[in-house]
Structures are given as structure tokens and as C-alpha cells.
Amino acid sequence: MNAGRDVERLIADWLVEESPGRAPDRILEVAAQTIDRTKQRRFAAVWREPMSISMRGIAAMAAVVLLAVLAAGWIGRSTASVGTPPSPAPTSSPAATVAGVTLAQYKSARDAICVAAWPQRQALDARIGTGMTDPNTPANQRAASFAAWQEEVAFERALAYQLHALDIPDSIVTDEAVAFAQAQGILDILDQERDLLQAGKLSEAQAVDLTTNPLARASEQFESKYNLQPCP
């Protein structure tokens, strides 16, 4: 069966059902006779004479209208179901770069630590005395001096790391690193001196202790160069 004729028949049936009522038989007979005598005009003469439309044309136009209605309905549902796209999350601006510490700020922080450390250092020096490496010093006094000296070495080690942990200005990073290495060198020598004292090698321990002097003077030069408070 021809699909086009099926569409025409369905549309014709629909038009009949949707019509408000049936015209009188006399009018229908006249209309039928007029249609039989009238031939279709070409489209070029449409502005001069009425254009006759076949059922096939009606079907085509109805199909176009139906497709347009369906398309409009589908677009309406699609747009209704789609919500407003979420606004992009605001991007945080890069955090402001923290300015490096100044030499004045470093000096203030370092000086505060060194000034506060001197009383403890002086108390330890008083407990150590001067006879720790003297063989004529009584053994019990040497033992007390040695214990106080060990406390002082631990104190010096902690102080060196505390100073090195400060924020260092870019302008003195190299010199500070050298000063810290020198402090580490002194501590290594003191560890050797400890081993000699424990072994009872007092003269050797005293000779090793003297080798710390050049490193200590280098640390003093760093403090003098940047006008820093002397640190114990």
C-alpha cells in the first residue's frame, strides 16, 4: 500500500472529524461539479486565479506543521530540563610573596638569643674551673669539672642549631653557612677532647682543645663583620 495515500486518508479523516458540521447536500453537489470542471493551474498563475491543492499537498503541509510542532515541543522540554550552567569557581589569586628577612631583623633576633645565653654559659664556666686537664687536680674535682664541661658542650651544640634555624637574609647566607660549619668543626673537636678526657689522657685533651681557637676566631670575625652581639 502506498504510504503517501495512507497519510492523505488519515489527514482527510482527521479533517472530517474536526469539521464543525456537514454542509448541505446541495452545496456539496455544486462543489463537486465545480471541482470536476476546474483543472489545476500552474503555480506561475497563482496571483491571477485560486490555486487548487491536492490531498497529497495537504498531507505534506500537515506533515511539515506536525514536525514543527513536535520540534518546538522537544526544544522547549530540552531547554527547561537544562539548568543554568554553574558559574566557574572563583580562582584564588596567588598568595603575596613574603618579603625576605632584612639584616636588621636577623640581627635583632640573633642578638636576643646570644645575650640571653651568656648567663648560662658563665655559670657553666664557673663550675668547670681551670683544673680539668691538670693532673694535680683531685680526681673528684676533675670529675665534677668534666660533668659541667659536658653540659657546656651540649649547650653549645643546641645554641649553634638555634642560631642556624633563624631566617637568614640573602645577603649573608654564604657567610652564615661558613660560620655554622665552623661551629660544627668546634663541636667535633670537643667530641674528640671528651674521648681523651674519659681515657685519662689529659695532656692530649688539652692540646686538642687548643685547636678550636682558629675556628672560634673565625666565628668572631663573622659577628664583627655584621655588627652582631658575640655569642658564647
Residue 131: the pLDDT is: 87
HEC states along 58-124?
HHHHHHHHHHHHHHHHHHHHHHHHCCCCCCCCCCCCCCCCCCCCCHHHHHHHHHHHHHHHHHHHHHH
- What's the rounded Cα separation, in Å, for the pair 110 and 72? 79
* Closest to 127 measured CA to CA, from 106, 143, 109: 143
14 pLDDT above the threshold of 90: no
Is 79 or 148 the better-scoring residue by pLDDT? 148
Convert the pLDDT of each residue in 48-82 to its tens digit: 444 444 555 545 555 544 545 444 454 455 444 44
Give the pTM. 0.57
pLDDT tier for residue 92 given thresholds of 50, 70 and 90: very low
Chain-centroid distance of CA 42 in Å reads: 75
C-alpha cell at 222: 663573622
List, in order, residues 6 or more apart from 168 with CB less than 8 Å away: 101, 106, 176
Residue 80: the pLDDT is: 46
Report residue 71: phi and psi, to 5°. -65, -40
> How many beta carbons lie within 10 A of that of residue 59, not counting itself?
19
pLDDT tier for residue 110 given thresholds of 50, 70 and 90: very high
* Closest to 212 measured CA to CA, from 180, 190, 181: 190
Convert the pLDDT of each residue in 19-49 to its tens digit: 555 545 554 454 555 545 544 444 444 444 4
Output the CA torsion sign for 121, 129, 140, 187: positive
Q: Is 55 exposed, middle or buried (0-12, 13-18, 19+ CB in 10 A)?
A: middle
Least confident window among 98-107, 131-140, 209-218: 98-107
Is 90 or 123 the better-scoring residue by pLDDT? 123
Residue 17: the pLDDT is: 59
Contact 55, 11 (CB under 8 A): yes
What single-letter amino acid sits at 167?
A: D
- What's the rounded Cα separation, in Å, for the pair 28 and 31? 5
Is 92 or 106 the better-scoring residue by pLDDT? 106
